[in-house]
Chains A and B, each alone.
Chain A
Amino acid sequence: MEFRTPSYFALATLVDGPLHGYAIVRRAAELSDGRVRLSTGTLYALLERAIDEGLVVAGEPYLEGGRQRRDYTLTQTGRDELQAEAERLAHAARTVTRRLRLSARAATS
């Protein structure tokens, strides 16, 4: 299954351990060098879908600094799907890079 970029980076933020919503937003921006800026609506829509598909589990709500939080954890299925997607993207990148190199060489020779 393919992921959209925001979902891909949001799930990737959970590889090192559970995070709450705002932490996922910040970490996704870091991992993507600022290219992915998750809005609250997008974040919770994709989290809900990931929970429904068994990729993520939600923890119990708690208070932190007066704000209600909940930690989200990547499941083994989620980890496997993310791994498969990372390999698919890497394979696609390798293929295109090789084609571009061959094409550049042919142009210069």
Chain B
Amino acid sequence: MSRERIAGLALLSYPAAARDARGEEMLATLHDVSAGSGRDFAREIADLVRLGLRARGSQTASAGARRIVADGLCLAAVWLMTLDVSTLLSQRARGMHDPLLSAPSIALLAAVLALALIGYDRLAGAGALVWTALRLPALWDHHAGLVNLAPEVLPIVCFCVLVLAPRRRAADPRRLAWLLVPATLVAAAGPPPGEASPLLVAGVLLAALLVAAAAVALLPTDPRLAIAGAVSVSNLGIAVVAINHDGSLVARLFVAAAPLVLAAAVTRTRQLRRPARR
């Protein structure tokens, strides 16, 4: 890979506005400063990426901790809907019968997910709350007792955030392409054990690992992805602890994921909002 290509990729760590304003000029300076020395070039690239991520972090942090947490929870709501619709469709595909798997209920959730993807957060949040309320009697029949409804708490919180603090973005129907994610999950998890394409299952696992790695890597500069991931993990942990009565360390760590990531996100955002020294 040429030096120009490597430097161009390193520059991507900066926010788009900074790249547009000074990207070409920065690359010219970088090539002059590091001309003839591979070591200097490596040092320049490492520094460029570090400061680019810091600039990106400062830009994200300028929105304020409250907005970033709200954005993360809105994204978590979308992820939880995606996981729910994928799970329910997979169970139907395996021939399971249950009032919770009724076609109208799944269709309502899929429609709500589509609204959230396009950018109608308020409408999607309200629809998701209605969907949850309609399911509660059937859930109660399955697992009587308030503790067993604990896995519904985090989704309800996220759906409320969608209604009360929606993300600020224009509606864009092209985002419906993200529906390929639940479709792929159903294709991987829907068939009976051993009948799903191993290649597809491996692809889904690899994608999940990459998303987790990206969330961890971006936590210091843009924690929204990490918040969404941690809320999903915590919700899984709550389900395991409440319904399966599994009090293992792993299950407890899963439950702790969301509070830990939220605390880290708020602390880091406050750090980045402090004015830098000259």
The answer to whether A22 and B278 have CB atoms under 8 Å apart is: no
Which of A20, A43, A49, A68 lies in contact with B276, CB distance below 8 A? A49
Which of B31, B47, B278 lies in contact with A46, CB distance below 8 A? B278
The answer to whether A45 and B55 have CB atoms under 8 Å apart is: yes
> Is residue B274 within 8 Å, beta carbon to beta carbon, of the partner chain?
no
For A28-46 the 0/1 string (1 means CB < 8 A from B) is 0000000000011111111
> Is residue A21 within 8 Å, beta carbon to beta carbon, of the partner chain?
yes
For B12-26 the 0/1 string (1 means CB < 8 A from A) is 000000100010111
The answer to whether A25 and B33 have CB atoms under 8 Å apart is: yes
Q: Considering residues A20, A21, A49, which has the most beta carbons from chain B within 10 angstroms of its beta carbon? A: A21
The answer to whether B25 and A69 have CB atoms under 8 Å apart is: yes
- Name the interface size band of chain B: 20 to 34
How many Å lie between the Cα of A29 and that of B18 in the bound state? 26
- Name the interface size band of chain A: 20 to 34
Which of A20, A41, A49, A67 lies in contact with B47, CB distance below 8 A? A41
Which residues of B from 168 to 226 have beta carbons under 8 Å from A?
Answer: none
Q: Considering residues B25, B26, B276, B278, which has the most beta carbons from chain A within 10 angstroms of its beta carbon? A: B278
The answer to whether A61 and B51 have CB atoms under 8 Å apart is: no
The answer to whether B278 and A1 have CB atoms under 8 Å apart is: yes
> Is residue A87 within 8 Å, beta carbon to beta carbon, of the partner chain?
no
> Is residue A101 within 8 Å, beta carbon to beta carbon, of the partner chain?
no
> Is residue B30 within 8 Å, beta carbon to beta carbon, of the partner chain?
yes
The answer to whether A44 and B26 have CB atoms under 8 Å apart is: yes
How many Å lie between the Cα of A1 and that of B278 in the bound state? 9
